[in-house]
Chain A
Amino acid sequence: MPKIKLSQRTIEIVKEICSTFENNEGELINVLHEAQHKLGYLPAEVQELIANELNMSVAKVYGVVTFYSFFNMIPQGEFPISVCMGTACYVRGAEQILHEIKRQLNIEVGQSTPDGKFSLNCLRCVGACGLAPVVMVGEKVYGRVAPQQIRKIIAEYQEGCVRPERHEM
């Protein structure tokens, strides 16, 4: 993993988030949630800083980050695509959907397209099993997705969309 140096501003943002939660170890998940919301992802250096602020071991922080598929350690694309692989989605063809997205974007799960536009991840159950199989792009949910629809969904984001506001590290 390449080492990055956090900007002074990023350090301030993370410290501020921690202090909002009173630097309480028990609030780790909320802190991570907020940090990812503000920064887009949680690189090692951010986790170290959070561990330091909450006075806990960085191994524990990393343990939580890797336990929940929601947290990311690599920068996400402008439009992160998540394919639900929960039981309901899986039996209704999520695997073919995933395969089709990989084929069209030419990336593997956990990677981003070279232009930084899309990234691809799997997740477990978004609580919309009635709509299985489910794909999420950013915070928008697509239900009952068929492989033939993938091209159209991706095209929606190819141009003319506003980039979500995020702090650069």
Chain B
Amino acid sequence: MDMINLTIDNRPVSVERGTSVLQAASQIGINIPSLCYMKLEDLNIENKPGGCRVCVVEVEGRRNLAPACCTDVSEGMVVKTHSMRAIHARRTVVELILSDHPTDCLKCAKAGNCDLQSLAQYLGIREIHYEGEQSTFREDTSPAIIRELDKCIRCRRCEMMCNEVQSVGALSAINRGFNAVVSPAFEMNLDHSVCTYCGQCVAVCPTGALTEVDNTGAVIRALSNPDKTVIVQTAPAVRAALGEEFGNEPGTLVTGKLAAALRRLGFNYVFDTDFAADLTILEEGTELLNRLTAYLGGDKEVKLPMLTSCCPAWVKFFEHQFPELKDIPSSARSPQQMFGSIAKSYFADKIGVNRKDLVVVSIMPCVAKKYECSREEFSVNGNPDVDFALTTRELAHLINLANIDFKSLPDEDFDQPLGESTGAGVIFGTTGGVIEAAIRTAYEVFTGKKLERLDFTELRGMEGLRRATIDFDGLPIHIGIAHGLGNARKLLEDIQQGKSQFHAIEIMSCPGGCIGGGGQPYHHGDAEILKKRQMAIYREDAGKPIRKSHENPYITKLYEEFLGSPMSEKAHHLLHTEYFDRSKSER
């Protein structure tokens, strides 16, 4: 390995050629403040436009200051990261950024979580010496994401996520100079663009320029209305991340406290999306087996590979970009929507409440879920199956607002009948989890044999594209897994060209799957957090007494009492959906 020796702040350091000064410093524990720079280790995600100039350092023998994020180390280099000259420049840079930034921090959605705010605090900015015109842009509201571009600092992290990681291409830097900003084509609104609402732009935005639509007010109104029965479902990935908002270490499981907090917030029934995840496996798993059986029986028309359909951003992605493949994904609705549909039919009947008086709230790690529940096909006579989707962050805010001391809450259970779940439902929260859950059920149904081992480690991990072959008692089943829509695109292009050898493919839009969702506590560029959440999910699964969806007794009961069998006409009506060609509908 080609090593370079240099000195940073009087300390000798030896790093690989091609390392940036910023990373070399970080290797010996020296933190150089930065703003536009972001790197998610192991996920191959890096943003270093070198645009903000906050990370400038002094390099001996160099006339001007060097941006540490995009200056490579060189032999014998002598770097001073915190010389008075560097500090002075850094403060000037931040003052200049602030001179064109709204000062409404008191009511900004990002207050307390804003990288620009933290930086201004750290640098002790008390006065802005530059006064002048401020750039103003029109606010853009969509079903899931709000853009307040007056707060955009042109770091272009969102653009990088949208284009390089997700390959969606909704956002680009447009205009130049003072009018430069990140926007969809022709400055159209996000809801007219190819945006999937994956929310990865929101997850990395350092300021309040990109935030989720806030539904906490609507939920508070529902909870304070005595005429409404308000029930809640909570997605698997939420329990592996919510604790972070209350000072728990990343990877702390807070399932019991989550249920307790929701009960104290006043929800009449506290249920679990994991229940609906188990239900999804019964429907989607059966669909996969039907397609496989038809294929093995010589049916050449059958659509394989089958793609999962739990992720609303992924659904919108293929509707825009691969509409000709819209028959390939499973027709099964997502767990959020299956839950809503069952809650407003089966459960509403059970407790004798009209669906109009039943409010279904979901807690999701996701921004796109807000959009999903607004899709027309998921409502009956204008009444949506899921009324409001809150992100993990919004729930944390509600818990604080209600003065609930989260950390001292007792562990409580979910209510029945829609709160019982298996380990298979839990792992829906991570990349690889949905397909592993499906395999656990499909294997036993297909072969009629009991699985020897439940942990399919070959399906697990963090690589963006993974493949594995599972032996179905002599029949090899080829599985593909992609997380991040850019990776999904590669698998879809293979299918388009007839090169795909897979029987089933799992796709999740966000890096890491739902644990890395756009609605999760901000990771501020620390990818280790995602891995810890993933480990927590598998821990929760391992600790569950039942770990296969088809063994969930309440699922069995639901089919006996109400649905009949998987893929029955009633199940089809309530639990399946269709997809639309959106390539032409909007620009």
Residues of A within 8 A of B (CB): 1, 44, 47-48, 56-63, 66-67
Do the beta carbons of A66 and B193 come within 8 Å of each other?
A: no
Query: Given A1-B186, A44-B186, A48-B587, is A60 in contact with B175 using a C-beta cutoff of 8 Å?
Result: no
Interface residues on chain B, size class? 10 to 19
Partner of B175, one of A1, A48, A66: A66
Closest chain B CB from A53 CB (angstroms) = 15
Q: Name B148-186 residues within 8 Å CB distance of A.
A: 163, 168-176, 183-186
Do the beta carbons of B587 and A60 come within 8 Å of each other?
A: no
When distances are taken between beta carbons in the complex, the residues of chain B under 8 Å from A56 are: 169
When distances are taken between beta carbons in the complex, the residues of chain B under 8 Å from A48 are: 185, 587
CA distance A48 to B193 in the complex (A): 12
Closest chain A CB from B481 CB (angstroms) = 26
Partner of B193, one of A44, A47, A59: A59
Do the beta carbons of A62 and B169 come within 8 Å of each other?
A: no
When distances are taken between beta carbons in the complex, the residues of chain A under 8 Å from B184 are: 59
CA distance A60 to B172 in the complex (A): 5
Do the beta carbons of A60 and B176 come within 8 Å of each other?
A: no
Do the beta carbons of A59 and B183 come within 8 Å of each other?
A: yes
When distances are taken between beta carbons in the complex, the residues of chain B under 8 Å from A1 are: 186
Do the beta carbons of B175 and A47 come within 8 Å of each other?
A: no
When distances are taken between beta carbons in the complex, the residues of chain B under 8 Å from A44 are: 185-186, 587
When distances are taken between beta carbons in the complex, the residues of chain B under 8 Å from A63 are: 172-174
Query: Given A44-B186, A47-B185, is A57 in contact with B163 using a C-beta cutoff of 8 Å?
Result: yes
Do the beta carbons of B185 and A62 come within 8 Å of each other?
A: yes
Do the beta carbons of A59 and B170 come within 8 Å of each other?
A: yes
Closest chain B CB from A1 CB (angstroms) = 7
Query: Given A1-B186, A44-B186, is A59 in contact with B175 using a C-beta cutoff of 8 Å?
Result: no
Closest chain B CB from A11 CB (angstroms) = 15
Do the beta carbons of B169 and A57 come within 8 Å of each other?
A: yes
Instruction: With a 10 A CB-CB cut-off, give which of B175, B184, B186, B587 has the most chain A CB atoms.
Output: B186
The 10 lowest CB-CB distance pairs between A and B, nearest first, are A57-B169, A59-B172, A63-B172, A62-B185, A59-B185, A58-B185, A66-B174, A66-B175, A63-B174, A60-B172
CA distance A68 to B176 in the complex (A): 8
A sample of 25 cross-chain residue pairs with beta-carbon separation below 8 angstroms, ordered by A number, consists of: A1-B186, A44-B186, A44-B587, A48-B587, A56-B169, A57-B168, A57-B172, A58-B169, A59-B171, A59-B172, A59-B174, A59-B185, A59-B193, A60-B163, A60-B172, A62-B172, A62-B174, A62-B185, A62-B186, A63-B173, A66-B174, A66-B176, A67-B173, A67-B174, A67-B176
CA distance A56 to B172 in the complex (A): 11
CB-CB nearest in chain B for A61: B185
Interface of A is mostly: helix
CA distance A60 to B182 in the complex (A): 10
When distances are taken between beta carbons in the complex, the residues of chain A under 8 Å from B176 are: 66-67
Query: Given A66-B175, A67-B176, is A59 in contact with B169 using a C-beta cutoff of 8 Å?
Result: yes
CA distance A81 to B456 in the complex (A): 69
Partner of A58, one of B163, B173, B587: B587
Do the beta carbons of A67 and B169 come within 8 Å of each other?
A: no
Do the beta carbons of B186 and A60 come within 8 Å of each other?
A: no
Instruction: With a 10 A CB-CB cut-off, give which of A44, A48, A66 has the most chain B CB atoms.
Output: A66
Closest chain B CB from A84 CB (angstroms) = 16
Give 16 new A-B contacts, CB below 8 A, not counting A48-B185, A58-B185, A59-B171: A44-B185, A44-B587, A56-B169, A57-B185, A59-B170, A59-B172, A59-B185, A60-B163, A60-B169, A61-B185, A62-B174, A62-B185, A63-B173, A63-B174, A67-B174, A67-B175
Closest chain B CB from A159 CB (angstroms) = 37
CA distance A63 to B174 in the complex (A): 4
When distances are taken between beta carbons in the complex, the residues of chain A under 8 Å from B171 are: 59
Closest chain B CB from A87 CB (angstroms) = 13
CB-CB nearest in chain B for A59: B172
Closest chain A CB from B14 CB (angstroms) = 38
Closest chain A CB from B137 CB (angstroms) = 13
When distances are taken between beta carbons in the complex, the residues of chain B under 8 Å from A66 are: 174-176
CA distance A59 to B193 in the complex (A): 9
CB-CB nearest in chain A for B168: A57
CA distance A3 to B183 in the complex (A): 20
CB-CB nearest in chain A for B180: A67
CA distance A44 to B170 in the complex (A): 15
When distances are taken between beta carbons in the complex, the residues of chain B under 8 Å from A61 are: 185
CA distance A63 to B172 in the complex (A): 6
CA distance A111 to B168 in the complex (A): 34
Residue-by-residue, is B550-574 near A (CB-CB < 8 Å gives 1, otherwise 0)? 0000000000000000000000000
When distances are taken between beta carbons in the complex, the residues of chain A under 8 Å from B173 are: 63, 67
CA distance A48 to B194 in the complex (A): 13
CB-CB nearest in chain A for B193: A59
When distances are taken between beta carbons in the complex, the residues of chain A under 8 Å from B168 are: 57
Closest chain B CB from A32 CB (angstroms) = 14
Q: Name B202-220 residues within 8 Å CB distance of A.
A: none
When distances are taken between beta carbons in the complex, the residues of chain A under 8 Å from B174 are: 59, 62-63, 66-67
When distances are taken between beta carbons in the complex, the residues of chain A under 8 Å from B587 are: 44, 48, 58
CA distance A60 to B156 in the complex (A): 13
When distances are taken between beta carbons in the complex, the residues of chain A under 8 Å from B169 are: 56-60
Closest chain A CB from B136 CB (angstroms) = 17
Closest chain A CB from B582 CB (angstroms) = 14
Query: Given A48-B587, A67-B175, A67-B176, is A57 in contact with B170 using a C-beta cutoff of 8 Å?
Result: yes
CA distance A1 to B163 in the complex (A): 25
When distances are taken between beta carbons in the complex, the residues of chain B under 8 Å from A47 are: 185
Closest chain B CB from A143 CB (angstroms) = 25
CA distance A29 to B519 in the complex (A): 37
When distances are taken between beta carbons in the complex, the residues of chain A under 8 Å from B172 are: 57, 59-60, 62-63
CA distance A108 to B163 in the complex (A): 36
CA distance A44 to B193 in the complex (A): 13
When distances are taken between beta carbons in the complex, the residues of chain B under 8 Å from A60 are: 163, 169, 172
When distances are taken between beta carbons in the complex, the residues of chain A under 8 Å from B194 are: 57
